[in-house]
Amino acid sequence: MTRQLHINVNILNAGVFGGSWRFPGTDGTASYTIDHYTSIAKKAEQAKLDAVFLADGPSLDPSVKHRTANNLEPTTVLARIAAQTEKIGLIGTLSSTYNDPVELARRLGDLDHVSGGRFGWNVVTTAGPVAARNFGRRGELEHATRYERAADVATQVIAAWAARTRLLSPQGRPVVVQAGGSTDGKRLASRVGEVIFSADQDLAHARAFRTELRDGAAAFGRNPDELVVLPGLSTVVGSTEAEARARRELLDNLLPDAYARSRLAGQLGFSLDGLSDDEPIPASLLVEPDQAGGSQTFYRVVKAIIDRDNPTLGQLLKKLSGGGGHRIVTGTPEQIADDIEQWFRAGAADGFNVMPDVLPSGFDDFADHVIPVLQRRGLFRTEYEGTTLRDHLGLGLPAVPALLPESEVIPA
Amino acid sequence: MTTIIQLTLSVGDPLTLADADAVTAVAQEAGVTTIRLADDGNLDPTVTAGYLAGRHHGIGFIAEVPTTHQAPYNTARRILSLDRASGGRTGIALRPGDGDEVSGGVVVGLAGRRAGEVAEDSDAGPAARWAGEGGGQVVVDRAARWAGECGGQAFVGRAARWTEYAHVLSRLWASFPRVALIGDQAAGLVVDDELIRAINHNGESYRVAGPIDGPSSVQGRPVIVADLTDELPFAAAAEYADVIVIDRATQVDQHISGVALLGRVWIDADADADADAAPVGPTAPAGLVALAGELRAWALEQRLDGFELVPRGDPDPEDLAAVLKTLVPLLANASPPGAAAASGTTLRAALALA
């Protein structure tokens, strides 16, 4: 059989666009109810997707005044989805910085058992001081330290799963998912990641990124085919091109300006106060990505756009539309399928972590209209062939990664 | 008034998830108010609570969570998420224990002074990799490096830790009131942020800023259950517990309004094990009638609000179901059975705590 796409839906509360929760016909607070998540998961299962994906951070998002935020803890949501579905994979984000590895290994292993082998752990290091203050810290750990700890915690957790002798999972152990585009993040992905989420605007860059990760995995003694690389893809679907463009335009207009500015300022690491919409971003304030503090992945994406296009603040805000930096495709189902197929065939992606513009309507459109096009082209399954997340992803059970050598953890 | 019946289940092995699903259905039908999910080496209670609550909508769920290995912000979030998902039918049986690596790395980071104490903690397990196993200076440095610039934390006893932990949970659960979620699409306002407040807790064992990430549940806040033990005396438990569970031998001479008192009753696979336990098996029904009479006398004497039924010796699920069908109606005054936790009623209301 020809190589198949892997597609997840990221249930990013009300949708990836900052104005999603205000979209006409949308219940603005639906993403604060559990049924929002379980019903999208059921729809994703009907569409034969690989998995649902939940982003998370252990804090109240400071932007919550102007846009909905993640607000339910992922393992509890996924346990409920597991009770109400049979096949769909369940990927949840849990912090390696703010969880005790003993407890984490046990809980996530148990969720894998309870779900019949459908769970995947997205390892994140959790950027920012807001979460840090919920765990006794005054600020976040430096970037490199967070990633050292992530590698240490992840290898401990995987070793604990591999050592289980009871309450086992049909897929052996959970799939390890990782989403770091930084130098440190890529190293962690190469070491332990099986599914890699990335953020990329550019096909050639994405192809190079995928190649780099595969080479990195090989350097750790792994089979590069044990990696499934899924860039984030924000989708705006219309039945005609004009309709899709109008939907995008409306979303841009619904984006609360205060939210868009504060989010971009947070990503760039400096204040945008006093900068008007028609002024360019001051290049002198932009540091190199490896020097950036918070999320280097999104900093890198945004900096690349600034370096390339030198946009005004207003143009940049519109391009990002509150979505942070994931690539946005706007068009008919055929056009979106064309884009997906092009990236897939070019070796830039093994599939996508789809981030619908508005939930649930944008996902309904994607599932009802884009998925069938991909299926007709023979690029996406029409039935599940197995029951576990590893089955869906075509992943075997890799060797257990070695625990981190002490020498790597502690610079003297 | 209705007698509260709480049934404890340890889910995983030998009672499988499918067994627990079936027993929960029988329990709800028989009039059990809430299922308590034990944390005894079997499946994680917050995971099974999430799963079972996704399948049974007319009964409450109490997840046992120890303080050990669990930072309070994480626990508060998980329990509140479960509570909101279940329509306000979730609680936590908070068990006294030790700290967690995230909150406690600080303590260990103090130049190895605490390394020995942590290494002696048999429950520390692999967490000691970051927290000072073996007391080696290298490992301690590593923990200290991750622990960063936090201030030191004093060692506290389990009762004091429990009380502080319950205090943090209660405050976090109140930090984002439901009414703050306004979702005003025209004005572009998701929340009224004036109503959402950080807690800025700075205590002996924990420092937690808050606020929590989601709004409070329909029952106000999740129910807190405490087991009265030598480790957790009445005075410490009563400050934050909504439900207190005692053994037959325990004498409680204080009663606090707004706190439900439950007596623990064993359901025993080995019928000869304990005269106070409910036997399972073919001769059970007659024995259960007599036992129910004794238990009701106990309830009157100690002013109990209900019972916690705890299977012991891994009874067969079908035998357990048979005991529940007979014993629960004998203990509960509920009429009709199951009305206490009927759909739409919160756990807090079913426990007469609201």
Give chain A positions within 8 Å (CB) of B48.
Answer: 79, 110, 114
Average pLDDT for chain B: 84
Q: What confidence tens digit (pLDDT) does each residue in A237-264 have?
A: 999 999 999 999 999 899 888 888 888 8
8 Å CB contact of B51 and A76: no
| Total number of domains constituting chain A | 2
Q: Residue A150 falls within a domain, yes or no?
A: yes
Residue with structure tokens 């603040």? A313
Q: Residue A407 falls within a domain, yes or no?
A: no
Q: Of B55, B149, B213, which is closest to A60 when you measure between CB atoms?
A: B213
Q: Of A26, A64, A134, which is closest to B191 when you measure between CB atoms?
A: A64
How far are the Cα atoms of A73, A77, A365, B217, B294 from residue B175, in angstroms, in the given order?
16, 21, 37, 12, 44
B233 at the A interface (CB within 8 A)?
no
Average pLDDT for chain A: 93
Instruction: Using the predicted structure, report yes or no on whether residue B48 has a pLDDT greater than 60.
Output: yes
8 Å CB contact of B53 and A101: no
A160 at the B interface (CB within 8 A)?
yes
What's the gap in Å between the CA of B312 and the closest CA on chain A? 20
Q: Residue A194 falls within a domain, yes or no?
A: yes
Q: Residue A377 falls within a domain, yes or no?
A: yes
Instruction: Please name every residue paired with A89 in a beta bridge, in sequence order, or none if there are none.
Output: A51
8 Å CB contact of B176 and A60: yes
Identify whether residues A313 and A330 lie together within a single domain: no
Q: Of A123, A127, A120, A11, whose CA–CA distance to A59 is shortest? A: A127
Instruction: Using the predicted structure, report yes or no on whether residue B63 has a pLDDT greater than 50.
Output: yes
Q: What confidence tens digit (pLDDT) does each residue in A147-169 have?
A: 999 999 999 999 999 999 999 99
**Cα maximum dimension of chain A:** 62
Identify whether residues A121 and A93 lie together within a single domain: yes
Q: Residue A267 falls within a domain, yes or no?
A: yes
Identify whether residues A376 and A275 lie together within a single domain: no
Q: What confidence category does residue B342 fall into, taking pLDDT thresholds of 50, 70 and 90?
A: low
State mean pLDDT over B141-151: 41
Give the structural domain span for A144: 6-242+324-396
3-state secondary structure of A166: coil
The domain that holds A168 is classified in CATH as 3.20.20.30
Identify whether residues A283 and A305 lie together within a single domain: yes
Q: Of A29, A61, A141, which is closest to B148 when you measure between CB atoms?
A: A141
A136 at the B interface (CB within 8 A)?
yes
Instruction: Using the predicted structure, report yes or no on whether residue B221 has a pLDDT greater than 50.
Output: yes
Among A105-119, A157-171, B126-140, B286-300, which stretch is predicted with the lowest mean pLDDT? B126-140
* CA pair distance B105, B111, nearest whole angstrom: 12
8 Å CB contact of B70 and A138: no
Instruction: Using the predicted structure, report yes or no on whether residue B124 has a pLDDT greater than 50.
Output: no
Strands (E), A238-347: 327-331
Identify whether residues A165 and A284 lie together within a single domain: no
- Is there a contact between B243 and B350 (Cβ–Cβ < 8 Å)? no
Instruction: Please name every residue paired with A167 in a beta bridge, in sequence order, or none if there are none.
Output: none
What's the gap in Å between the CA of B76 and the closest CA on chain A? 10
Identify whether residues A165 and A311 lie together within a single domain: no
Q: What confidence category does residue A409 fall into, taking pLDDT thresholds of 50, 70 and 90?
A: low
What's the gap in Å between the CA of A266 and the closest CA on chain B? 19
Give chain B positions within 8 Å (CB) of A81.
Answer: 54
Return the pLDDT at A295: 74
Give chain A positions within 8 Å (CB) of B97.
Answer: none
Q: Residue A406 falls within a domain, yes or no?
A: no
Identify whether residues A124 and A152 lie together within a single domain: yes
Considering only alpha carbons, which residue of chain B is nearest residue A138? B150
Residues of chain B within CATH 3.20.20.30 domain(s) are 4-97+157-173+220-350
Identify whether residues A116 and A207 lie together within a single domain: yes
Give chain A positions within 8 Å (CB) of B110.
Answer: none
Identify whether residues A75 and A91 lie together within a single domain: yes
Q: Of B196, B192, B117, B193, whose CA–CA distance to B153 is shortest? A: B117
Identify whether residues A313 and A332 lie together within a single domain: no
Q: Residue A45 falls within a domain, yes or no?
A: yes
Q: What confidence category does residue B127 fall into, taking pLDDT thresholds of 50, 70 and 90?
A: very low
Considering only alpha carbons, which residue of chain A is nearest residue B67? A103
Instruction: Using the predicted structure, report yes or no on whether residue B286 has a pLDDT greater than 80.
Output: no
Identify whether residues A187 and A304 lie together within a single domain: no
Q: What confidence category does residue A271 fall into, taking pLDDT thresholds of 50, 70 and 90?
A: confident
Identify whether residues A310 and A291 lie together within a single domain: yes
Give chain B positions within 8 Å (CB) of A33.
Answer: 84
Of 3.20.20.30, 3.40.50.970, 3.40.50.300, 2.40.50.100, the CATH number of B4-97+157-173+220-350 is 3.20.20.30
Instruction: Using the predicted structure, report yes or no on whether residue B155 has a pLDDT greater than 90.
Output: no
